[in-house]
Structure 1
Amino acid sequence: MNKWIIVFLCLAFAKASLAQESENIKLPVVRNFEVSYLYGTILEHNPDIAHLITDHPSGVMLRYNRKTYGEKEWESRYNYPDWGITAVYQDLKNLYLGEVYSAYGHYNFYFFNRNLELSLGTGLAYINRPFDPVTNARNNAYGSRITSSTYLLVDYKRENIYRGIGFQAGFTIVHYSNANVKAPNNSTNSWLFNVGLNYNLGYDKAPAYKKWEKTPYSEKISFNAVARIGVNESDVRGSGQYPFYTFSFYADKRIGFKSSLHAGTEVMISEFLKEYRDYQANSYPENGITGDENFQRVGVL
C-alpha cells in the first residue's frame, strides 16, 4: 500500500513540474538589425534659430532590436514589443551646427497586423560644434557638447520578406536639447524621412506568439513622496548655473496592469529664477519686474 502511495506522489510531482516548465518555457532569441538613410529638414520651432536652417540635414540610423514572443506576461499585454539600442549620425548641413552623434535605448510597438511600427527612444547626443563665444558664437541652439536627445519614429515595416531580409520606410522626429543646463539652449527638432533594410537573425527559429490569459488586476491606494535635484541656467548667457529642487506628494490607485489614477501636488524651487528676476529688475526696470515676485511654483496633478 505504501509503495503505491509513493508512486502516486512521484507521478503527481512530475506532472506539476512539467506544467511549471511549460509555463516558464524558454523561447528562442530572435534579433533584428536595421539600417536607414535619413533626409529631411530642421523645424523652425523658434525664430531665433532661423539663421541656422540653411539646408536639408541627412544621416544614418542603425538599430538593434530584441524581439519578444510572450515569454513574459507583459510582452503579451503590449502586443509583443521590441526593445533595443539605436545609434544615429546626423549632418545638420550648417557650418555652425556641425554634426551630431547620438545613442539611445528604445522600445518598438506594433499596430495593424504588425505592419505599423511606433518607436520611442531616449539617450544622449554628442555635438561636435557647440556654442563658443569666440569661435562659434552664432550657434545659439546648443550650449554644451553633450545634450539629451529623444526620437519618435513611425514606420511601415515588413520583416522576413526573403531569408530574413525586409524593409522599412517612414518618418522620424529627433530632438536635441541640454534642458537649459547651460545657455544657450534653443535646441533643434529635425523632421526626417527614412528608408532602409532590416534583417532578422534567427528568422528560421522564430516561435509562435504566446498569448497570456487576461486577468483583472488592481492595488490599494498608495501614498508617495519624491524629491529631485538638478542644475540649470537662465537664457542669459554667462548668468551661471543654479540648483533647482522639486518635491512631489501624490496618491495613486492602480486600476489595471496598464492604468492607474494619480492625484497630488508638486513644489518647484528654481534658484536661477530668483537670479533672473533680480537681473531683470535691476537692468530693465521698464519691463515691470520689481524684484519682489515669487520664484517658487506649486502645481496640482
Structure 2
Amino acid sequence: MRNLFNLFFFLFVAHVTVGQQNEVKPFSIEADYFYGSILEHNQDISHLITDFPNGLWLSYNRKTYGWNEWEGRYNFPDWGFTFSYQDLKNTYLGENYGLYGHFNWYFLNRYLRVTVGQGVAYASNPYHPDDNYENSAYGSRFLSSTFIKAGFVKENIIDGLGIQLNLGVLHYSNANLKAPNNSTNTLFASAGLSYQFDAPNFPVRIPVGSWRSSNYAERIHYNVVFRTGVNEADVNGLGQFPFYTFSFFADKRINYKSTFQAGVDVYFSYFLLNLIRYREIAYPGDGLTGDEDFRRVGVFIGHELRFNKVAFVSQLGRYIYWPYEFENITYNRLGLKRYMFNDNVFIAVTVKAHWAKAEAVEFGLGLRL
C-alpha cells in the first residue's frame, strides 16, 4: 500500500513539474480612441484635408516573459493584432478599416511603449474615374497600411485594468499597385484602457542569462532572391504590369540581433516600358525615342534585425545602370522575411521605394547558402 501511495505521489509531482514547464500564454486587450489631422505631404491631396479625422483602435497583445530567448533579448515585448476604424472626415476619402500585426517595445522601466504595426486597410470610397475622380490618394480599395505610436503606458493599475496615452502616425498607401497613389498620413493623439487577463498569475520574467549575443555570429552566407508582383505608373489608366527582380547578395551575421548585407539587384519592371512609350508620344519635348531600356541594375547595402526566425529588413541602394531616369537614382527597401529549413530558405514581403515614394510591394522567395 505504501509503495502504491509513493507511486501516486511520484506521478502527481511529475505531472505538476511538467505542467510548470509548459509555456503559458498571457494576453491583454486594449481599446483606444484617436483624433488627429491629415498631413499635407503632397499638394495633390490638399482638397482632401477638410476636417480632423477620428477613429478607434482595438488590440490583442500576447505578452512575453522570456520563454523564448528572443523575448528576453528585446526586453519582453508584446506581439499581437490590431483592428482600426478611421473616419477621414472627407466625402471623397470616406472611411477606412484596417487589420494589422504589431509589436510593442518597452523602455524606461516599461512606462514608455513604442508600437509598430503593418497590415492591410479597406477603403470605403477609393478613386473611380467617373464616380470619385477627386480621390487622388487611394487608387485601390485595398491599401497597405502602417502605423507607429509611442507614449505612456501603465498596465494592471487595479484588477488588471490599465491606461495608455499615445502620439502617432497612421499611413495608407497602395504602394503603386494602382494609380493614383498619393496616400495619406494622419498625425494623431490617442487615449485608451487595457485589461490584463489573469493578471495575478502573470509568470515571472525569465532573464537571458550569460549566453552572449556574439555567440550567434556566423560565417558569410550567399543569397539569391526572386521577387515579383504588379504595379502601375503614376498615370491614371495606364494599366498594371508585372515586374521581376533578381537579387544576389552576401550576408554576415555578427550577433543574435544583427546581420549585414551587400549585393546587387537586377530589375525588369514592365510598367516602365509602357511609361516610356506613353511619354514618348504624350510629351515629345522630353526627347524620348520610345526605345530606352526599361531595365535597371543597382547595388545595395542592408541590415536585418532578427527575431528568432523572423527578420526586419532595411536596404539602401543606388542604380549603376539607369538608362531611363525614373524617380531617384537612390532607392530603399523595407520589409519582413521569414526563415525556414534551418535558415536555408526564406520568404519575404518588402516595399521598394525611392525615399518616401513607393514603387512596388514585392513578394520574394530566397535561398541562403
Answer whether TM exceeds 0.5 for this pair: yes
Q: Counterpart amino acid of 1:188? A: T
2:295 paired residue number: 296
- The one-letter code matched in structure 2 to 1:185 is N
Deviation at 1:283, TM superposition (A): 1.4
Residue of structure 2 equivalent to 1:259: 258
Query: Corresponding residue for 2:67?
Result: 71
Instruction: Note the C-alpha offset of 1:29.
Output: 2.7
SS in 1 for 2:164: strand
Matches within 5 A, 1:177-188: 177-188=173-184
The aligned counterpart of 1:94 is 90
Q: 2:149 is matched with which residue?
A: 153
What letter corresponds to residue 62 of structure 2 in structure 1?
R
Distance in 2 (alpha carbons) for counterparts of 1:266 and 1:236: 26
Q: Which runs of 4+ in 1 moved over 6 A?
A: none
After superposition, residues 244-283 of structure 1 pair within 5 angstroms as 244-283=243-282
Q: How does 1:150-229 map to 2 (within 5 A)?
A: 150-213=146-209, 214-215=211-212, 216-229=215-228
For these two proteins, the number of residue pairs brought into alignment is 282
Amino acid at match of 2:187: W
**Is the 8 Å Cα contact of residues 59 and 90 (structure 1) preserved in structure 2?**
yes
Q: Which residue of 1 aligns with 2:103?
A: 107
**Whole-angstrom distance in 1 between the partners of 2:112 and 2:232:** 40
Query: C-alpha separation between the residues in 1 aligned to 2:38 and 2:268?
Result: 33
Residue identity in the other structure for 1:168:
Q
Partner Cα separation in structure 2 for residue 225 and residue 71 of structure 1: 33
**1:231 matched residue in structure 2:** 230
Q: More strand by proportion, 1 or 2?
A: 2
Alpha-carbon distance between aligned partners in 2 of 1:289 and 1:191, rounded to the nearest angstrom: 41
1:219 aligned counterpart, secondary structure: coil
AA aligned opposite 1:180: N
SS at match of 2:216: coil
In the TM superposition, residue 26 of structure 1 has moved relative to its aligned partner by 2.6
Distance in 2 between residues matched to 1:110 and 1:95, nearest whole Å: 38
Structure 1: stretches of 5+ with no match in the other structure: 1-13
* Map of 1:122 onto structure 2: 118
> Is the partner of 1:275 in helix, strand or coil?
helix
Cα deviation, 1:256-283, whole Å, max 9, x if unaligned, reads: 0001121111111211111111111111
CA distance in 2, matches of 1:235, 1:32: 42
Instruction: Summarize deviations over 1:179-198 as a string: whole Å, max 9, x none.
Output: 11111111111111111111
Please state whether the residue corresponding to 1:290 is helix, strand or coil: coil
Query: Which structure has the larger Rg?
Result: 1
The CA distance in 2 between the partners of 1:171 and 1:290, in whole Å, is 50
Secondary structure of 1:278's match? helix
- Given residue 218 of structure 1, which amino acid in structure 2 is its aligned partner? A
Paired with 1:118 and 1:50, the residues of 2 have a C-alpha distance of 30
Gaps of 5+ in 2: 1-9, 301-369
Instruction: State the TM-score, normalizing by the size of structure 2.
Output: 0.74
Task: Give the fraction of aligned pairs with identical amino acids, expressed as a percent.
Answer: 51
Provide the C-alpha distance between the structure 2 equivalents of 1:202 and 1:27, rounded to a whole number of angstroms: 15
Contact 1:28 1:205 in 2 (8 A): no
Letter in 2 for 1:252: D
SS of corresponding position for 2:177: coil
- Determine the structure 2 residue equivalent to 1:29: 25
Matched residue of 1:277: which SS? helix
Deviation at 1:155, TM superposition (A): 2.0
1:222 match: secondary structure: strand
Q: Write the distance in 2 (CA, Å) between the matches of 1:241 and 1:293.
A: 20
Deviations 1:218-239 (A, max 9, x none): 1111111000111111111111
- Greater RCO, 1 or 2 (C-alpha within 8 Å, sep 6+): 1
Taking structure 1 as the reference length, the TM-score comes to: 0.90
SS at match of 1:113: coil
CA RMSD of the aligned region, Å? 1.6
